[in-house]
């Protein structure tokens, strides 16, 4: 069931989203060679708790971290670890959110560690821009497939892979709600969008093919061909005349 949020409920999600964004901003400043992903996890955890919220990823289906920290060919669900030390030239995707007063937020960014290759930078930039290409079609009365198609078309125009096995989602009083929000699809198809829907839109793009594999830890998703992956996500509200990005 797709839920429509009232103005009051959206206000709560705005507060939750602000906390998630604050944590990601702290992580962005902390990302450098020599830092462990466990350290980044602690930064996010402590900040979110200090704001009276909870990290909604922690213990979600048993996930052991407050953030997902996915390095290089890891697409999503990288487990923070003191043994994963960032190296110059790596890219790291941080996916995380907060729950405040029962209302969830969810967002992701990919950062470069020190100096990164032009190829890695382009992947990060195109992944981010693919999100905004999708948003050009996000409005009351449009079809979800319009958004999905625009994301796919833009990313694939660079020869990149659009991950199929993982998709965005509705969000609100649960971290994952209806509808599924794929980053690929047909324009003019899919769920009809309406003001008051809140969606986590999250292109996951690879420098190679779209196929992914699961590591032995049963969490971490990697590209099947070992190519780099990037992730960009925001929690977004559909309004009468467009949208509002809550986690920006």
Q: What residues make contact with Mg ion under the rule CB under 5 A? A: 106, 200, 202
Q: How far is the CB of 76 from Mg ion (least distance, A)?
A: 9
* Tokens linked to 2: 């797709």
151 touches 130 (CB < 8 A): yes
What share of residues in the chain are helix, strand, coil (percent, to 5)?
Answer: 30, 25, 45
Q: How far is the CB of 196 from Mg ion (least distance, A)?
A: 19
75 touches 231 (CB < 8 A): yes
Q: Which is nearer to Mg ion, 10 or 175 (CB)?
A: 175
169 touches 158 (CB < 8 A): no
Q: Which is nearer to Mg ion, 163 or 200 (CB)?
A: 200
149: phi then psi, degrees, rounded to nearest 5? -65, -40
Q: Which is nearer to Mg ion, 86 or 200 (CB)?
A: 200
Q: Which is nearer to Mg ion, 41 or 202 (CB)?
A: 202
Q: Which is nearer to Mg ion, 89 or 176 (CB)?
A: 176
Q: How far is the CB of 168 from Mg ion (least distance, A)?
A: 6
The DSSP symbol for 5 reads: P
CA geometry: angle 200, 202, 207, nearest 5 deg:
175
CA geometry: angle 106, 33, 233, nearest 5 deg:
15
Q: How far is the CB of 85 from Mg ion (least distance, A)?
A: 26
Q: How far is the CB of 67 from Mg ion (least distance, A)?
A: 12
145 touches 153 (CB < 8 A): no
* Tokens linked to 30: 């902390």
Q: Which is nearer to Mg ion, 89 or 179 (CB)?
A: 179
CB atoms within 10 A of CB 248: 10
């Amino acid at each position: 069931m797709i839920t429509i949020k009232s103005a009051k409920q959206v206000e709560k999600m705005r507060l939750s989203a602000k906390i998630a964004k604050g944590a990601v901003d702290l992580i962005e400043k902390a990302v450098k060679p020599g830092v462990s992903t466990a350290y980044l996890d602690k930064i996010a955890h402590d900040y979110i708790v200090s704001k009276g919220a909870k990290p909604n990823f922690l213990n979600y289906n048993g996930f052991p971290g407050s953030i997902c920290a996915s390095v290089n060919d890891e697409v999503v669900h990288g487990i923070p670890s003191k043994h994963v030390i960032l190296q110059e030239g790596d890219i790291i995707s941080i996916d995380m959110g907060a729950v405040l007063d029962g209302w969830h937020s969810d967002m992701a960014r990919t950062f470069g560690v020190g100096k990164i290759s032009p190829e890695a930078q382009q992947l990060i930039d195109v992944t981010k821009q693919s999100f905004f290409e999708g948003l050009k079609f996000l409005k009351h009365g449009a079809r979800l497939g319009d958004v999905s198609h625009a994301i796919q078309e833009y990313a694939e125009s660079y020869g990149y892979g659009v991950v199929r096995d993982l998709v965005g989602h509705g969000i609100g009083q649960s971290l994952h709600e209806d509808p599924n929000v794929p980053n690929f699809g047909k324009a003019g198809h899919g769920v009809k969008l309406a003001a008051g829907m809140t969606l986590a839109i999250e292109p996951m793009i690879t420098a190679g093919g779209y196929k992914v594999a699961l590591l032995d830890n049963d969490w971490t998703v990697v590209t099947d061909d070992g190519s780099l992956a990037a992730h960009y996500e925001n929690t977004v509200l559909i309004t009468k005349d467009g949208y509002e990005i809550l986690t920006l």
